[in-house]
Amino acid sequence: MKPLIIALILFLNGTTVFAGSTLGEFVDDAPKNEQYLDWIYFSGQAMMFSSITAERKTGTPIYCPPPKLSITPDQYLLILSKSVGDLKARDRDVSTFGLFLLEGLQKTFPCGGG
């Protein structure tokens, strides 16, 4: 599972699409920028597939959403925005957004009751 998580983090942090932006700017601009929303959504979907794969391989998922839950781009943005705000990370480089989205998913959908 460790290599899978490391690969996911490197993938999500490897982007230069939003170079020079802060997480706060990214989160604030995302509702009116389809490219940003798409990036957040596809990153969230990659995390979901990684969590499913981790559970199948090790028995331990990365986070535990309810079965058959479908998360929309706006919902992923809300999870990211809350995570960035909770961790006071608005001034961090946008390339770290994947870490904050993952943290938000783990807080929103904890495994084992919490």
Q: Could you please report the per-residue DSSP string of 56-110?
A: HHHS--S--PPTT----HHHHHHHHHHHHHHTT-TTSBGGGHHHHHHHHHHHHS-
For residue 17, the model assigns a pLDDT of 54
Domain annotation covers residue 114: no
pLDDT confidence bin for 50, thresholds 50/70/90: very high
Q: Kindly state the average pLDDT of the residues 50-76.
A: 94
Percent pLDDT > 70 in the chain is 81
Q: Kindly state the average pLDDT of the residues 54-81.
A: 94
Q: Kindly state the average pLDDT of the residues 8-35.
A: 74
| In the block, residue with structure tokens 């990365």 | 62
Domain annotation covers residue 92: yes
Regarding predicted confidence, which is higher, 96 or 14? Answer: 96
Q: Kindly state the average pLDDT of the residues 68-75.
A: 93
Domain annotation covers residue 95: yes
Domain annotation covers residue 113: no
Average pLDDT, the chain: 85
Report which listed range, 6-15, 17-26, 85-94, is most confident: 85-94
CB of 30 closer than 8 Å to CB of 77? yes
Structure tokens at 105: 């998913």
Domain annotation covers residue 61: yes
Model confidence, pTM: 0.81
pLDDT confidence bin for 14, thresholds 50/70/90: very low
Quote the number of domains for the chain. 1
CB of 44 closer than 8 Å to CB of 71? yes
What is the C-alpha separation between 47 and 102, in angstroms, rounded? 7
Domain annotation covers residue 79: yes
For residue 32, the model assigns a pLDDT of 93
